[in-house]
Structure 1
Amino acid sequence: MSTATAPVDAPTWLSEFYSKVDQLDTEGVLAAFAADASMRYGSAEAAVGHDAIRGGLTYLFTLYAGIRHEFRAVWDTGSTLMVEAEVTYRTQDGREVAVPALTVIEHRDGGVIDDMRIFIDPTPVAG
């Protein structure tokens, strides 16, 4: 049985955004968010506004030596996207752990993010 997956059709801005995430580029990722946007990762409290989102991103990006997203499916309803992905984290000790995630992104034209909710259980990464 093949484990290869077909490429997923995703908006260009979304692919560019996740490229910045995978580069651990805090300021590049932050630039995609509206000034009053919110972001929630897993079961953490939502971060609201650029300063809070920057703090959350900085924390997450220092935990890992690398992150890689592989889209499984993207659903686009206009102002809301849902992204199913396999996220592979490379830990500081060199382990690679893949976990499933579903992200809901409410956005404006051009990909300005108003709200991002990342449904993920990162527990296996800590193990």
Structure 2
Amino acid sequence: MTGATAARAVAAPAWLTRFYEKVDALDTEGVLAGFAPDATMRYGSGDPMPGHDGIRAGLTFLFTSYRRIGHEFRGVWQSGSTVLLEATVTYGRPDGREVSVPALTVIDHRDGVIDDMRIYIDPTPVQAG
């Protein structure tokens, strides 16, 4: 499965679907445009990446480490400005293998941009050789 659309219908806000289309396209600047200038992003157990410069560095590392990334939405829940996204994420490794892992992302979204994103994922199976 490629792209942010799931094989089964999952109701998701349009902005979230558009955002993950940019993630799956490995579009660093397009993804970055979805964040507030002073936003923070955290991936797995890594350190928080503050601001556009920190997020750009993290995205660049992630997007150049894999041939492709695809998200299949499993569930989306929203309470106020906080969105929870459950997804299966498939990574295309440089060696040609594809590895899928579950992820839960907590997003604080205000005024049309992401203020904070916390991605709970164990990338160990993806990184294993």
Task: Tell me how large the CA RMSD over aligned residues is.
Answer: 1.1
In structure 2, distance between residues paired with 1:121 and 1:43: 8
5+ residue gaps, structure 2, are: 1-5
Residue deviations 1:34-57, cap 9 Å, x none?
000000000000000000100000
The one-letter code matched in structure 2 to 1:37 is: A
1:4-83 superposed matches below 5 A? 6-83=8-85
Identity of aligned residues (%): 68
The one-letter code matched in structure 1 to 2:71 is: H
Calculate the TM-score normalised by the size of structure 1: 0.94
Look up the match of 1:121.
Answer: 122
5+ residue gaps, structure 1, are: none
In structure 2, distance between residues paired with 1:109 and 1:50: 17
Runs of 4+ in 1 over 6 A off after TM superposition: none
In structure 1, distance between residues paired with 2:108 and 2:88: 20
TM superposition shift of 1:93: 1.0
TM superposition shift of 1:11: 0.3
Calculate the TM-score normalised by the size of structure 2: 0.93
